[in-house]
Structure 1
């Protein structure tokens, strides 16, 4: 099976479960105690390479144990147990997109094995081979941590998603009932609350991002083994694992497993640097690659969940994609940075401000934008109604545009006979496409040219252009027929460009594609 990024508990991404529990024996390393009467003495008659001065230096550089840190933060970490009523229509969604290697197993068996849920009727949901009971209750476990003495705690959205009841267990074994205050699926964070006390142990979020190589300690409830502590280092930052538009994960190598979801990762000062969320694993267990939601993100999300029960994000209203080296070359940009606008959505703040397809947004309020993800995260941190200044590159020149952000809707997505390229003039680049005016092809609309056939060996096919796609413009110029396409290709070639930028629309979205000029 292929390796993939998996969420470590009740997520829709598959975890490949190990078929048995591997027991790791402890091997004691036997060494020789060297009693030195003088520096460098060795009982074997050789000079020791480890002098007392070197030994002292090594001891001084060895990191201390984590006992004091763990004693300080562990009481604030909780195990989170949920119950999900499968008769609830929403909970049925949890079974979608889940697969298992056993072809003859039912969805409920797959659900049980992959995510550790327990069924009241037994493993197969029935007794002695009898049919399953109609009413099913699923239980699952994750982790969390208190962030205030009055009982507010953070966990993952996928831990409490669709939960009928939530129960938390503290490090001393005390159990409480919790309620879900709010969730944010886009960042996979949730805020829960335990009422009735004002003196819960709690921890704080770190004020600064950790450095790569810094120590990190994870505490959680892996495989139901509450209060488990693991340690490692920060391996990387800014990871995009395809979880959503705001991916900015911290990668750690402190072992986290199924059940660690929602638990904290601490720095050496006892502050939370991230929320354990996902693992990369071919087996379902830790292979030393885990992903945490950064504290900077969690703080902003949790504050809104506490105040409003939901996260309200700013909305620009554009579909964007990264500026690749080929796109930068076709536009005359010196660097492959920024986000190119595929399509401004009708009635959006961007459309009202005059932002057009093909514009490259290079900065927001004077801060440079690295790519499309960076733009999405930056805009999402701003409140609706905020006035922002966008640096926009258009047709070889830069300009600054000011607009007021809207409120991000729940969901918004743009929608969207044979003719040949014919005989081109000598020297005109060929893309490997057969085209026809869109107005002449039923259902293609009135703008652009329709791709009626694709040469699988041509440059356009290599860039993902398919039959049925509609090319709206070439090199920044709108096209309506094959002749206009040829003219723009020839113009791009004569200008010394190595690739040409096409605006392409299909049923799902509008995007820009940089195609090499063959």
Structure 2
């Protein structure tokens, strides 16, 4: 039999011919049957008697109710029920997610959001036994919870190492998507060390494994059958799987589990800096050959970083022997460090390498409120399009500035607007020099080399950030503020 394949043949037909005719063979694909048979019994279903207030359980990153015109709406309503109703399967409880046994005496790992606000937690094993679980502890920052069952001689998983994972490697998830218990789905590692906006202290493993509501808290296995992550979040525009799944690396999980088991809470190392990514433009202003590292925009007073001598404008390139490629790499490294440990940081300060020792403290549970901005006044913009003014005593109190800085009252078209500066911002530093007042800023601007990008440190509300600003090569006057 002869097969003619045109240029317009569907892609799947080419794959069929490839596997049938040689080259890569179909039997070279991974076989997960032995893995599922051996470790599947250690995966559990977690349900609760508490109503979930109409939210779809286990969605993770986008836990919103689906619109009525969604193709999944009828499915969710049928199997998870409306608010206040009992679902058609799952017994008297609402199925929330998955988990897995890490010890034969009944310790279970799952996501913190799976058991959040639960009045009674029921853990069901693969042999249909049910146990009432006790919450040993939960950590919201890592989204990990540790449960305990009153049982013995239970099956358990084996713990692996996520640090050895490679992008493209096969992985397998077992869980209860949509309440269908012990479902197995496979895929590959898409990326490592992903930083998500809501989770600064977790370097997520990104996969294309099909993860859906109910998979949350379940294990992610490597080909050897060892758990290398906990499935936690999905990125979805519909509420269903779209090819982007995120798992918490097992090293982070087990560190949290050990702290929850021994002390009931989790402590993390704290450096005390606000950081940002180094863009191509900022790399040029800080004498970096290419964008890398974490740029320090602000040092918290009284923090370990302040005590070690870290300054705004420093670029952190290595922390405790680990490279900091992007700003998202730094928080997990600091968070995993032990409170009271001394760490070495390699920095770049004004183009010169520098090494500092820092004694880490415990990450505090606090934050900053956004500060309001004063109203602009009518005046003339300078050469970069800014209308500036000295700070009043009231404004200094609002921005918590004892000295220095100038207030941006208006932004007209020009380099400043292109850089992203806004009315109400306070300029703290210009090209590595702290700005004392308006007259000083005029001097710095006038002396700046035309057509060269400079880094401008801005305070916006309670946060600080560097912006790359290119000085116009037009000989414009820098006065008139």
Say whether the fold is shared (TM-score over 0.5): yes
Instruction: Please give the residue correspondences for 1:61-460 in structure 2 after superposition, counting only pairs within 5 Å.
Output: 62-84=28-50, 98=64, 101=67, 116=80, 119-120=83-84, 139-195=94-150, 197-207=151-161, 208-413=163-368, 418=377, 420=379, 430-439=383-392, 442=395, 443=398, 446-455=403-412, 457-460=413-416
Moved more, 284-293 or 143-152: 284-293
Gaps of at least 5 residues in structure 1 are 1-31, 35-49, 88-93, 104-108, 124-136, 425-429
SS in 2 for 1:182: strand
CA contact (8 A) 1:118 1:139 kept: no
After superposition, what is the alpha-carbon deviation per residue over 1:203-236, rounded to whole angstroms, capped at 9, x for unaligned? 0221243222222111101111111111222222
What RMSD over aligned residues (CA atoms) do the two structures have, in Å? 3.4
SS in 2 for 1:141: strand
Mapped partners of 2:355, 2:274: distance in 1: 19
Instruction: Give 1 or 2 for the bigger CA radius of gyration.
Output: 1
Paired residue for 1:504?
Answer: 458
After superposition, what is the alpha-carbon deviation per residue over 1:131-179, rounded to whole angstroms, capped at 9, x for unaligned? xxxxxx9844100000111111111111011222111001111110111
- Following TM superposition, by how much is the alpha carbon of 1:377 offset from its aligned partner in structure 2, in angstroms? 1.1
Moved more, 180-189 or 167-176: 180-189
CA contact (8 A) 1:453 1:467 kept: yes
Q: 1:441 to 1:138 in 2, by over 3 A?
A: farther
SS in 2 for 1:362: strand
Mapped partners of 1:364, 1:210: distance in 2: 22
Q: 1:346 to 1:58 in 2, by over 3 A?
A: closer
SS in 2 for 1:451: strand
After superposition, what is the alpha-carbon deviation per residue over 1:267-286, rounded to whole angstroms, capped at 9, x for unaligned? 12111121111122222222
Q: How many residues were matched structurally?
A: 435
Q: 1:97 to 1:291 in 2, by over 3 A?
A: closer
CA contact (8 A) 2:282 2:455 kept: yes
Gaps of at least 5 residues in structure 2 are 4-16, 54-59, 473-481
